Amino acid sequence: PILSGATEPSPVCQPCHYSAPCEEDWIWYRGKCYYFAETYDEWNNSQSFCVSHNASLSLIDTQEELDFLRRHKGLYDHWIGLYRDTNEPGWVWANGSMFRNTFPIVGDSPCVYLNNGHVGSAACHGDKKWICNKMDANGHMTHFY
């Protein structure tokens, strides 16, 4: 309704929609959505699960992101998206980019996991929990200061 003296109704949100940046069971942090698995599987199957959700085993860009993952993963080892490609002379992220020694990796087995004390490597066929990540629903990094 138009009030006396008003020329137009005030704008009303009809209906108001809030779009969550991540789907249910995923956690938002600095423009990315993370899934912390509650079950165990080998590295390749864990990566397949992530891909089926338009994600990847977790790619870690900064020390802050590594600290966030450690805080949220609990006590168990979790696969992340880093492996040693037999055709490349170093560690490779699941998206194909080369690892830039952001953090030390203990061991020289082919697949990488995160535990409480360090980032380690193990045989890919071992069963561990895993962490997926992907960009949030906005499709870009969002920072709040």
Q: For residue 13, is it within any domain?
A: no
Q: For residue 21, is it within any domain?
A: no
Q: For residue 20, is it within any domain?
A: no
Look up the domain containing 127 and give its range. Answer: 27-135
Q: Rounded CA gap, 105 and 10, in Å? A: 59
Q: Which residues pair with 122 in a beta bridge?
A: 111
Compare 17 and 88 and report the one with higher pLDDT: 88
Mean pLDDT score of the chain:
85
Q: For residue 9, is it within any domain?
A: no
Single-letter amino acid, residue 35: Y
Q: Which residues pair with 82 in a beta bridge?
A: 93
Mean pLDDT for 16-29 is: 77
Pairing verdict, β 111-114 and 129-135: unpaired
Number of domains composing the chain: 1
Cβ neighbours of residue 25 closer than 8 Å, sequence gap 6 or more: 35
* Per-residue confidence band for 122, with pLDDT thresholds at 50, 70 and 90: very high
